[in-house]
Amino acid sequence: MTVRIFVPSDAAALSMGADDVAHAVQCEIADRKLDATLIRNGSRGMMWMEPLLEVETPSGRVGYGPVQAADVKAIFEAGLGNAHSLNVGLVEEIPFFKNQQRLTFARCGITDPLSFDDYEAHDGLKGMRKALNMTPDAIVAEVTESGLRGRGGAGFPTGIKWRTVLKTDAPQKYIVCNADEGDSGTFTDRMIMEGDPFALIEGMVIAGLAVGATKGFIYIRSEYPHAWAQMNNAIELARTKGVLGLSILGSGRVFDIETRLGAGAYICGEETSLLESLEGKRGQIRPKPPLPAIKGLFGKPTVVNNLISLASVPIILDKGGAFYKDFGMGRSRGTIPLQLAGNIKRGGVVERAFGLTLRELIEDFGGGTHSGRPIRAVQVGGPLGAYWPDHLLDTPLDYETFTEKGGMLGHGGAIIFDDSVDLAKQARFAFEFCAIESCGKCTPCRIGSTRGAETIDKVIAGDNVVENLDLVRDLCETLRDGSLCALGGLIPTPVMSAMEHFPEDFDQESQGSGVK
Amino acid sequence: MAREIATEMKGMDGPLLPILHAFVQRFGHITSDAIILIADVLNLTRADVQGVVSFYHDFRTTPAGRYVVKLCRAEACQSMGSEELASNLEQALGIKFGETTSDGRVTLEAVYCLGNCALSPAVLVNNQLRGRADETKILDMVASGLVGAGQP
């Protein structure tokens, strides 16, 4: 029987030398005339082990990691699956992986991302086949029942958004996938595009069937060249297979997808700005209303969903809304693929039901800092999320609980900082980032961000610290209440949380020096 | 050639960004002549096109170096020392962010997240991604000639 060997083509794995490993594996297979085949899978999301080489054995897939090309010969010498210093045992028994609840990421890292046979062998297309035999109302009802909320950060119920588009009459409607994953500390959108792109395609087709849209766009950021290439390949294959096109799986129903490349603007992750960009304009915010669900892309009713939301739809249709809803806590239903990032020993993706605490995520899964020093601050939710100290780490990961405590779960990324971090610098960076990425449409964000950075500079320089901190607070209030969108509206969150929880970094004189 | 690219793509939904990307890929940057030409093909004003070009970081209006080093300077990479790496790179290359070395070899640019946040610091050199980047790795990439050119 042909032995299957896996080396990921995920960008994170490539960034650590996966292509060289794959080449070395090919050479060994050829030299030894082995009956073996190399598959370029996605990543399992255990990034500290990338490149993770896997070999299929009768007892399961055995992993080696992190592997460099120079290690490959010895792995083959020892006999595939046998003892070797890099052998990590059965991959699915590794606690980081085993203790997850993978629904959206069920196939990622396991299958060949560009094989429809593999996709279908792992439950792919089941949700879509069901949807093809359902009424639009029934599809929307199933998604509503699941409790799925927008995974991009806002957490708006997906079913309600879909219903609005379904009920709005128009000759043309659109499904737009927001794959402009610009928040630092997040990478699950990228991983799905590279590791299970058909799941996104299937989710978008189902969304189209649900609301009566025949065309979809995926807006992919240009910082993701690998995901861009993989997604385009996957769409081509889907057309060949009849999963996209004029008659989806011979049903007579129409749906097709085009990709569009972003151009390096963070703000285009905001849905109205993204729509402007898709239309070929400056990525400036549109005031709401009108909602995109009523007047969206090219003025037509449009579902704008985050990639993870759409990629979660197939399993909801396949197993039912009630199955999905069974996971989670409070009003946060289902699972969320969380991301461990920054100064972390075991970084990567952890998909779990809502309700896991931040500490469990960071310590049990992540194993503490990469540097081995104590954790001082954690930022969850990207550049607009709060900086939290240790005593808030027992907060369960859930939209409402995070909001109550002044934080934001966002896209589920957690960035870990050790005790070398200076929170005054981080607060300054928040303003600086906002100044760089502001679309310029509203004044608080455009001007306030620059003034904020200048004022924090004064604080750092020890110039009228108390007065200037008051000024920063005042400015934050203006930004929060007066900005048109979440960038200006939420940039006060990292700034104010840093000031609240780490005052010693802002007022070194009165707090005694030598903190840093 | 330029007119052919623009004319061929004008039928797309929202053609302007795809055309600008195609121009950067083909010609390296967007010239003022290109702006006039694209405006003409799409029946837009020159200001419309200029406004879009100036809004997005990707649409460069001056030629880049043979190697474009995009170093992530966002929070996850900051937590792993990317700011120190940034200033070391500036020093080693003798340029600031946004500049190109005088021999036209390297352009240094800041980028905010490459989606490799569990393997920070991250850098993209002509679309080749590196994790756990350090000064030596990056300088090797721009010296070795092993990294090919090209935009997505």
Tell me the per-residue pLDDT of A98-121, one tens digit each, with 9 for 90 and over.
999 999 999 999 999 999 999 999
Identify the domain boundary among A383, A418, A453: A418
Determine the residue of chain B that is closest to A339 in CA distance. B118
For tokens 């709005």, what's the residue?
A: A168
Residue A151 phi, psi (nearest 5): -85, 0
Measured in angstroms, the CA of B25 and the nearest CA of chain A are apart by: 12
Same domain, A279 and A355: no
CATH label, B67-144, candidates 3.40.50.970, 3.40.30.10, 3.40.50.300, 2.60.120.10: 3.40.30.10
Same domain, A227 and A88: no
Structure tokens at A480: 């929060």
Is A103 a member of any domain? no
Could you report the per-residue pLDDT of A332-357, keeping only the tens digit for each?
999 999 999 999 999 999 999 999 99
Same domain, A301 and A176: yes
Predicted confidence at residue A153, as pLDDT, reads 87
Asked whether the predicted pLDDT for residue A484 surpasses 70, the reply is yes
Task: State the CATH number of the domain containing residue A160.
Answer: 3.40.50.11540
Using left for φ > 0, alpha for ψ between -120 and 50, and beta otherwise, residue A434 falls in alpha
Is A172 a member of any domain? yes
- A-chain CB neighbours of B43 within 8 Å are none
Same domain, A320 and A334: no
Identify the domain boundary among A299, A325, A351: A325
Same domain, A50 and A10: yes
Number of domains in chain A: 4
CB pairs under 8 A between A and B: 164
Determine the residue of chain B that is closest to A45 in CA distance. B118
Who has greater pLDDT, B86 or B144? B86
Residues of chain B with pLDDT > 70, as a percent, come to 94
Of A15, A264, A339, the CB nearest to B119: A15
Structural domain boundaries in chain B:
2-55, 67-144
Q: Which of A43-47, A150-154, A299-303 has the lowest mean pLDDT?
A: A150-154
Identify the domain boundary among A418, A442, A460: A418
How confident is residue A513, by pLDDT bands cut at 50, 70 and 90?
A: very low
Same domain, A228 and A377: no
Mutation target among A96, A371, A415, A497 for the B interface, most CBs of B within 10 A: A415
Beta bridge partners of A63: A54, A89
Domain of residue A44, residue span: 3-94
A342 and B75: CB-CB below 8 Å?
A: yes
A16 and B131: CB-CB below 8 Å?
A: yes
Hey, CA dihedral for A445, A446, A451, A457, is it positive or negative? positive
A261 and B16: CB-CB below 8 Å?
A: no
Mutation target among A20, A176, A184 for the B interface, most CBs of B within 10 A: A184
Residue A418 neighbours by CB distance under 10 Å = 20
CB A344 within 8 A of CB B118: yes
The mean pLDDT value for B76-90 works out to 98
Measured in angstroms, the CA of A256 and the nearest CA of chain B are apart by: 13
ipTM: 0.95
Task: State the CATH number of the domain containing residue A452.
Answer: 1.20.1440.230
Distance between the two ends of chain A, CA-based, in angstroms? 60
Measured in angstroms, the CA of B92 and the nearest CA of chain A are apart by: 23
Same domain, A155 and A274: yes
For tokens 């990034």, what's the residue?
A: A47
Torsion angle (degrees, nearest 10) of CA A162, A164, A168, A172: -30
Is A104 a member of any domain? no
